[in-house]
Amino acid sequence: MATFELTKDNFNETLTDNEFVLIDFWASWCGPCKTFAPIFDQASDENPDLLFAKVDTESQQELAAGFDIQSIPTLMVVRDKTVIFNQPGALPKDALDDLIKQCRELDMEEVRKEIEKQQADGRASAE
């Protein structure tokens, strides 16, 4: 499956309509981005049930800024509209494959409970 181009215009709808999205924040002038691109594309071909998306940080500066992207490439994984992974740096193929496997195995109910707990703890300490 080919990668999908994310823009500020289709971002929210894409994340709402897809349960599992991997996002590569990149730029055409970025050497590590060029190295990571074929790895990301191959993973896309090997995982046709997942959406692999790319954000060109040059043409989508507002979107990149909204996620505080400081370094590229940055890989983000979103499941059930929740960011479960966000890290700069190009991953080798085996590391990306392992990350996808771990993200697939995550119990999203447990993730939501942990987020709620952290938010409640944050509110309690702010009072």
Set 6, 22, 23, 33: catalytic member: 33
Q: What is the pLDDT of residue 120?
A: 84
State the pLDDT confidence band at 1, using cuts at 50, 70 and 90: low
Question: 33 an active-site residue?
Answer: yes
Give the residue numbers spanning the domain of 15. 4-126
Domain count, the chain: 1
Of the candidates 22, 36, 115, the one whose C-alpha atom is nearest the C-alpha of residue 71 is 36
Task: Determine the Cα angle at 74 with ends 116 and 78, to 5°.
Answer: 35
Question: 103 an active-site residue?
Answer: no
**Cross-strand partners of 5:** 54
Give me the CATH number covering residue 56: 3.40.30.10
> pLDDT of 18-66, one tens digit each?
999 999 999 999 999 999 999 999 999 999 999 999 999 999 999 999 9
Spatial contact of 39 and 92, defined as CB atoms under 8 Å apart: yes
**Cross-strand partners of 83:** 78
Set 6, 15, 30, 53: catalytic member: 30
Mean pLDDT, the chain, rounded, equals 91
Cα radius of gyration rounded to whole Å, the chain? 15
On whether the pTM is more than 0.85, the answer is yes
Place of tokens 């981005």: 33
